[in-house]
Amino acid sequence: MALHNYHDMYTVFPPESIWASGTPGNYSPRNYSWLVMLLPFLDQAPLYNQIDFEAPLWNQTTTDGRLIMAQQLNVLTCPSDSAYGGPGDSHNMSRTNYIGSEGWDWWPRSADPTGGLFTLMGSRKMRDITDGSSTTIIVAEVLGQGTWNGAWDQAGSGERIPNRTDAVMRPAFISPPFADPHTDVFQFPAPDGSTVTTYNFWTKSLDANGPGAYKPTYIAIAGPNTEWHGPRSLHAGGLHVLKGDGAVRFLSENIHHTNDPATSLWQHLNSINGGEVISAF
């Protein structure tokens, strides 16, 4: 409902992230996730109104001295997932169990048929969901510490990451860059203003033994319950997903998925304009 109310007010869905301000070579970090933009629609207007959007979100505080990026909201977490602790165990960043679909991978996908609602560096309107809002997944669950050891093209083949050092969390409000030179966000500074130069999670520069962190989105090239790049839940047999029409349903982890976006049903459900005909799922 928050996403639809945001769209009703601004006639567009929130962008996957606000990365920086300025010009190439002279960027100033921002690193706001799409969930920050939803705060007024989640009964969190007082918190939202204390954010200075002309400054980095990193280490901003409320008027009473609380770190904004560390505010843990129940509405953004699954009650069954305690992860591995609170913000103190996650670089002082609160976490979320609900992540938006980027589509097939993490390259920018403006008009590409494999793009999702939260495709990299873009904003979508309801009219862009030409595949039909009732057959398009826009948000899914994720584990607080992530998933590994799964085959990307075999949904349900992964397992829960058992330790903090290897964990991959999803910060609720901060969008950390993942240092992959194939993505355009590689050019932007990290939330603390540092430069991201190595193929790794930026958070490892803060604490080598702490969890990695990726923005609150996922890529559909990883099937459900396979690897940290994709969604997963603690629920037996599958996970909950949010469709573009606002309906929530439980999706089997055994949904058809392949390494070809043209044939994967999982990908078809995550693309907003792929042109696939899906009667029901």
Domain range annotation of the chain: 2-270
pLDDT number for residue 230: 93
Hey, what are 23's tokens? 């010009």
Residue 218 has pLDDT above 90, yes or no: yes
Gap between the Cα atoms of 98 and 100, Å rounded = 7
Look at phi and psi of residue 146 and say left if phi exceeds 0, alpha if psi is from -120 to 50, else beta.
left
pLDDT number for residue 223: 92
- Average confidence (pLDDT) over 148-164: 86
* 82-to-86, 93, 160, 233 alpha-carbon distances in Å: 9, 15, 13, 12
pTM of the model: 0.92
Look at residues 111, 93, 108, 98 and name the one whose alpha carbon lies nearest to residue 34.
98
* Residues 231-263 pLDDT 10s: 999 888 899 999 999 999 999 988 999 989 989
> pLDDT band at residue 129, thresholds of 50, 70 and 90?
very high
User: What number of other Cβ atoms are within 10 A of residue 272's Cβ?
Assistant: 26
Gap between the Cα atoms of 92 and 259, Å rounded = 36
> pLDDT band at residue 180, thresholds of 50, 70 and 90?
low
Average pLDDT for the chain: 88
Q: Which residues, including other chains, have CB under 8 Å from residue 8's CB and lie 6 or more apart?
A: none
> pLDDT band at residue 2, thresholds of 50, 70 and 90?
very high
- Average confidence (pLDDT) over 31-52: 97
- E-only strand ranges, 91-205: 98-101, 137-141, 147-148, 159-160, 168-169
Residue 186 has pLDDT above 70, yes or no: no
Hey, what are 43's tokens? 């009964």
Task: Tell me the sheet residues that pair with 29.
Answer: 20
Residue 146 has pLDDT above 90, yes or no: no
pLDDT number for residue 13: 97
Gap between the Cα atoms of 180 and 57, Å rounded = 22
Hey, what are 222's tokens? 């990883």
- E-only strand ranges, 64-216: 98-101, 137-141, 147-148, 159-160, 168-169, 212-213
Residue 66 sits at φ, ψ, to 5 deg, of -90, 140
Gap between the Cα atoms of 124 and 115, Å rounded = 10
- Average confidence (pLDDT) over 4-8: 96
Look at residues 138, 172, 279, 147 and name the one whose alpha carbon lies nearest to residue 226.
147
- Average confidence (pLDDT) over 150-165: 85
Contact 196, 189 (CB under 8 A): yes
pLDDT number for residue 182: 53
> pLDDT band at residue 203, thresholds of 50, 70 and 90?
confident
Look at residues 167, 160, 130 and name the one whose alpha carbon lies nearest to residue 253.
160
- Average confidence (pLDDT) over 57-63: 96
Hey, what are 10's tokens? 């601004």
> pLDDT band at residue 199, thresholds of 50, 70 and 90?
low
> pLDDT band at residue 197, thresholds of 50, 70 and 90?
low
Gap between the Cα atoms of 223 and 231, Å rounded = 8
Residue listed under structure tokens 């604490």: 207
Gap between the Cα atoms of 42 and 77, Å rounded = 13
